[in-house]
Amino acid sequence: MNKVAITGLGAITPLGNTVNEFWQNIVAGKSGAGMITKFDASKFKTRFGCEVRNFNPEEYIEKKELKKYDLFTQYAIAASEQAIKDSGLDFKSMELEKLAEIGVIWASGNGGIGTFEEQLKEFYAGDGTPRFSPYFIPKMIADIAAGVISIRHGLHGPNYCTVSACASSNTALINAFDLIRMGKALIMIAGGSEAAITPASMGGFGASQALSKRNDNPAKASRPFDKDRDGFVIGEGAGALILEEWEHALKRGATIYAEMAGGGMAADAYHLTGTHPEGLGAAFGISKALADAGIGPDKIDYINTHATSTGQGDISELLGIRKVFVDIPVPISATKSMTGHLLGAAGAVEAIISVMSVRNDIIPGTINTEILDEKIPAGMNIILGKSLRQPVNYALNNTFGFGGHTASSVFTKAQIMS
């Protein structure tokens, strides 16, 4: 099978709108949480989130084109443009046959939920006469971001959207990885975006008791593994990665950030929204990812956990990790303590963190966690507070979603023979 290189990265996040800014803030342990400014949230039980700030879509999209795209697609365009530029790929100079080997898999759990809300609000506020925008459907559907990215660059390879709730963009990466390994694609743009800080989304997650209610101190609200955690902090943004067949990347002299070494997917088969209490789906997915990479648990130097700061979810993931790693004290951390939960975009954004961890030999810390939950299995090596500088040859990235979906991916250092 073909080896797969990571040759480009792009990020739009609550902690910065470039990969460098984002990574620096992750290493520094900053929080991206604040009071919601996108709408009047004063009547909601949760009035804060991790919003993208200072985003100017006109840096990437012509002003006259903006009306065609929901915010989640605007984020997707921006992150993918950054990743393409970072990779040094020049699609305009490529022949049609080669462009047919380059594709896009872009994920979103909620798609254009903001557009959906706006259009229905206008309809019900009117006299009942349908006056919907002709862009309503193409702005709303979750697959449109993948389509738009391919249209902008003339990419004729595999093109679709993965939807597996909060595991969506990790699933996209694994799918893209498999296509390249099997020789069905040469280069893939993979990632995910989410723009779900909207009234309906906040109301729905709030009604399910999933969101933290620490309105008095948003920056401290996301506290994975803490005994006083009370739910996740919703986030938004996008992460994009360029996956490329290894030899092709070498021949063109590309910068290789890391190698994607394996991916595993499984299911809890347990509950609509709750994770399996014993972490079965997590354990199965992690085991498959390690087997796919051809390594044992002892090779993993860092796990970026899904850990959203929910009561059952955090513990079940640790139990799943324990099933696979047994007595191996692998360092783990929860970067959602800083970014909040980017839902369908979480896997891609955290894949970027995992790749940067491998490249820079830095393990990000977990902020806000003060007293560990007594239900946490003994011997877990949870990195709290400051980031650690130590060798990271292999990193594991976990993501899980409503419906019991689990996806785990493995990244390793780029070994380039001279």
In angstroms, the CA 147 to CA 230 distance is 38
What region does 315 belong to: left with phi over 0, alpha with psi -120 to 50, or beta?
alpha
Nearest to 155 by CA among 185, 132, 194: 185
How far the first Cα of the chain sits from its last, in Å, is: 22
In angstroms, the CA 113 to CA 345 distance is 14
Nearest to 304 by CA among 286, 292, 288: 286
Active site residue 50: no
Place of tokens 């709408």: 39
Alpha-carbon distances, residue 239 vs 13, 51, 342 (angstroms): 8, 15, 10
242 and 281 in contact (C-beta within 8 Å)?
Answer: no
353 and 196 in contact (C-beta within 8 Å)?
Answer: no
> Going by C-beta distance under 8 Å and a sequence separation of 6 or more, which residues neighbour residue 321?
279, 282, 283, 286, 303, 305, 330, 332, 380
Place of tokens 């609550």: 14
Structural tokens at position 200: 């309906």
Nearest to 357 by CA among 23, 19, 47: 23
Active site residue 166: yes
153 and 167 in contact (C-beta within 8 Å)?
Answer: no
In angstroms, the CA 191 to CA 169 distance is 5
In angstroms, the CA 271 to CA 276 distance is 7
Nearest to 366 by CA among 342, 348, 400, 339: 339
Structural tokens at position 358: 């491998």
Count of residues for the chain? Answer: 418
Active-site residue (options: 50, 153, 161, 306): 306
Active-site residue (options: 153, 276, 341, 405): 341
Place of tokens 């303590």: 337
Active site residue 271: no
Active-site residue (options: 153, 161, 166, 276): 166
Question: Max alpha carbon distance in the chain (Å)?
Answer: 71
**Residues annotated as part of the active site:** 166, 306, 341
